[in-house]
Amino acid sequence: MLDGILKRRFFFTPSFDIYGGVSGLYDYGPPGCALQANIIDVWRKHFVLEEDMLEVDCTMLTPHDVFKTSGHVDKFADWMCRDPATGEIFRADHLVEEVLESRLKGDKEARGQSSAGIDTSEEKKRKKKVKEIKVIKLDDEVVAEYEYVLAKIDGYSGPELGELMVKYSIVNPGTGGPLSPPMAFNLMFETAIGPSGQLKGYLRPETAQGQFLNFNKLLESNNQKMPFASASIGKSFRNEISPRAGLLRVREFLMAEIEHYVDPSDKSHSRFAEVKDLKLRLLPKDTQAAGQTTLTEMAIGEAVSSGVVDNETLGYFLARIYLFLLKIGVDPARLRFRQHMANEMAHYAADCWDAELQSSYGWVECVGCADRSAYDLTVHSNKTNEKLIVRETLDTPISIEAFEVELDKKQFGPKFKKDGKKIENFLLSRSQQDLEKFSKSLATDSKITVLVEGVENAVTLESDIISIEKKSRMEYVREYTPNVIEPSFGIGRILYSVLEHNFKVRSGDGQRGVLSFPPVVAPTKVLLVPLSNNPDLAPFVKEISAALRKLAIPSKIDDSSATIGRRYARNDELGTPFGITIDFQTVQDRTITLRERDSTKQVRGTVDEILEAVKVMSVDGASWKEGTVNLQPFDSQE
């Protein structure tokens, strides 16, 4: 029923529908577009304005070198299998998951157990590759093994998936034909920048890199103060292998990302105390590694102090994510935080949690919150030789003992000419261990020989030109590369979950769908309904409509000839929280009726009183009870 409403009321639609559509691409119609804009608006207030984050808007087109450095060119891939006979392409992890799930269902049926529940509706939604469930009883050991694999399904590498496919005889479910072993398929869309076609570029798969590249300018904008955060809202792109889950797996999507830069030696957060008692439902990695999915409810303060969550800043953001999701209408009973397992986390990440929302597609990651450590700033800095660091004046200078390189510039310059700069940079960026080794070589052989990128031959430096010795010096400034905590929001997935979490069916004369959005995200806040087309009512409709526009409260007029009840029902489907009825009493005493969508309760007051109530409820966030405390209850005209 919800699907029908979303389509009919044009919340969203497959893009290029009249051309047959392209899977994984969707357009938002007017109510979907407004809902999206409102979610973004709440996000901006809840995160960016509340914490003075520095918002930036970076390009989606990105040259090859940036994603080569970040690791996306080599590693941002899913594993796909091809059927050489039919040309069909499957995403390997999804295929293994679907086949094993369908076998478990067949087993349950063979054992005479029901396989109903959330899984059944899930089946209806996802257009699955496995169309038919074979009723075959499995050995108890096999069932346990399948369940174990499924609990860990997000953690397998391509070759491991290939082994599972061989072990469990997984083939093309449609034809029974064999599949190729999993091959990596890079998910970035590629294009060429400029008329020569020689500058390879990609559409960004996340907004993060643009923020990292601007780190120095951002730190400068923040007057060199740490910690701080940048933020960005914009489209990203992933060339999904076979998207078949509506808005939950798309090729072009809106993201909102925060990069919070923090001193690696101090990941405390000044506002952690404000959230520490908030209880979250957690699914830690140890639980998953044991093949379990039981949730642990725990105060975030305790989660951090007991080491379940790595640090305060990460914990602070998990709590803030929770508060944001509740504000826009997510059902807390259908929200959990799942920790990444060691093998599914990027090697550089210190810890990573996903906020997962449950819908008819199952539990789906909607927000990621990762501690990316110093990885990104370090790799870009190494590649470009641009320092992406924080310099902090020390209150008390410290004495440092370290190996230092000294070059005899008079000899060095003429000897190496144009290669000199590269060799010098190479030497100055060596680790203390390397320098210690060099120092020993110089002591024993009176020379060192090194290979420098970009210099053709091996470089030999003799001890008359270079000296490397341990020296002690006072440091007045501490330099460090900040760590990055990254809360990353998939707005489309959140939006779809909000639609499902707020959908209710009202019984009465026929089944009527209601979208119970919180007023703050509802596409339209107020429906204006004149009782009839009598011209005496029109001036009031016009006046109230103009007054609402002045208050920047989106409203719609429905002056059709349908009954009032019918007109309200139509707008319940759009999630419009308030309705104002203008009737003949209005002409006499300027009173109007205000109706609340969920309870269908009504109150009566003057135009000014009702507008004030609408304002405090839809802008300031007051409840119906708070907003209408001074108004008279009114019996329905419906």
Which residues in 60-79 contact its own copies (CB under 8 A)? Answer: 60-63, 65-66
| Residue 140: Cβ-neighbour burial (10 angstroms; 0-12, 13-18, 19+) | exposed
Q: From 218, 263, 536, select the one nearest 392 (Cα to Cα).
A: 263
Q: Which of 112, 176, 194, 633 binds its own copies (CB under 8 A)?
A: 194
Tell me how far the alpha carbon of residue 434 is from its chain's centroid. 40
Segment contacting its own copies (CB under 8 A): 151-159, 182-190, 340-348, 498-506? Answer: 182-190
* Cβ within 8 Å of residue 181, ≥6 positions away: 81, 159, 162, 165
Segment contacting its own copies (CB under 8 A): 24-32, 96-104, 171-179, 360-368? Answer: 24-32
Are the beta carbons of 465 and 408 closer than 8 angstroms? yes
Q: Which of 260, 380, 493, 597 binds its own copies (CB under 8 A)?
A: 380
For 542, the enclosing helix (H) or strand (E) is: helix 538-550
Q: Which of 3, 50, 286, 469 binds its own copies (CB under 8 A)?
A: 50
Q: Which of 28, 261, 568, 578 binds its own copies (CB under 8 A)?
A: 28
User: Rounded to 5 degrees, what are φ and ψ at 14?
Assistant: -60, 135
Q: Which is nearer to its own copies, 35 or 282 (CB)?
A: 35
Site for its own copies, residues 509 to 568, rule: CB under 8 A: 549, 552, 554, 556, 560
Q: How far apart are CA 260 and CA 53, in angstroms?
A: 9
- Rounded least distance, CB 416 to its own copies, Å: 24
The contact pattern for its own copies, residues 386-405, with x = CB under 8 A and - = no contact, is x-x-----------------
Segment contacting its own copies (CB under 8 A): 191-199, 285-293, 364-372, 478-486? Answer: 191-199
Does residue number 479 form part of the binding site for its own copies (CB under 8 A)? Answer: no
Does residue number 185 form part of the binding site for its own copies (CB under 8 A)? Answer: yes
Other Cβ atoms closer than 10 A to 82: 17
- Rounded least distance, CB 178 to its own copies, Å: 19
Site for its own copies, residues 83 to 112, rule: CB under 8 A: 87, 89
- Rounded least distance, CB 41 to its own copies, Å: 10
- Rounded least distance, CB 445 to its own copies, Å: 38
Q: From 617, 625, 594, select the one nearest 607 (Cα to Cα).
A: 594
Segment contacting its own copies (CB under 8 A): 117-125, 232-240, 361-369, 428-436? Answer: 232-240
Are the beta carbons of 309 and 301 closer than 8 angstroms? no
Q: Which of 39, 46, 56, 613 binds its own copies (CB under 8 A)?
A: 56
Q: Which is nearer to its own copies, 36 or 591 (CB)?
A: 36
Count of positions (residues) in the chain:
638
Long-range own/partner contacts, residues 501-507 (CB < 8 A, 24 or more apart): 501/329, 501/330, 501/331, 501/334, 501/357, 501/359, 502/329, 502/575, 503/2, 503/5, 504/598, 505/1, 506/572
Tell me how far the alpha carbon of residue 568 is from its chain's centroid. 35
Segment contacting its own copies (CB under 8 A): 209-217, 430-438, 453-461, 462-470? Answer: 209-217
H helices within 334-482, ranges in order?
375-384, 409-416, 420-428, 432-445
Q: Which is nearer to its own copies, 102 or 524 (CB)?
A: 524
Q: Which is nearer to its own copies, 63 or 413 (CB)?
A: 63
By CB under 8 A, how many residues form the interface with its own copies? 79
Site for its own copies, residues 236 to 255, rule: CB under 8 A: 237, 239, 241-242, 251-252
Coil, helix or strand at residue 100? helix
Q: Which two tokens stand for residue 401?
A: 């003992």
- Rounded least distance, CB 180 to its own copies, Å: 12
Q: Which of 112, 117, 176, 195 binds its own copies (CB under 8 A)?
A: 195
Site for its own copies, residues 29 to 48, rule: CB under 8 A: 29-30, 32-34, 36-37, 45
Tell me the HSE value of 117 on the side-chain side, using a 13 A CA sphere.
Answer: 6
Q: From 71, 126, 75, select the one nearest 98 (Cα to Cα).
A: 126
Q: How far apart are CA 4 and CA 10, in angstroms?
A: 10
Does residue number 117 form part of the binding site for its own copies (CB under 8 A)? Answer: no
State the first-to-last Cα distance of the chain, in angstroms, to the nearest integer. Answer: 24
Does residue number 134 form part of the binding site for its own copies (CB under 8 A)? Answer: no
For 628, the enclosing helix (H) or strand (E) is: none
One-letter amino acid at 482 equals P
- Rounded least distance, CB 384 to its own copies, Å: 5
Segment contacting its own copies (CB under 8 A): 174-182, 214-222, 449-457, 466-474? Answer: 214-222
Site for its own copies, residues 578 to 637, rule: CB under 8 A: none
Does residue number 370 form part of the binding site for its own copies (CB under 8 A)? Answer: no
Does residue number 434 form part of the binding site for its own copies (CB under 8 A)? Answer: no
Segment contacting its own copies (CB under 8 A): 50-58, 92-100, 126-134, 575-583? Answer: 50-58
Does residue number 363 form part of the binding site for its own copies (CB under 8 A)? Answer: no
Q: Which is nearer to its own copies, 384 or 411 (CB)?
A: 384
Other Cβ atoms closer than 10 A to 389: 18
Tell me the HSE value of 536 on the side-chain side, using a 13 A CA sphere.
Answer: 10
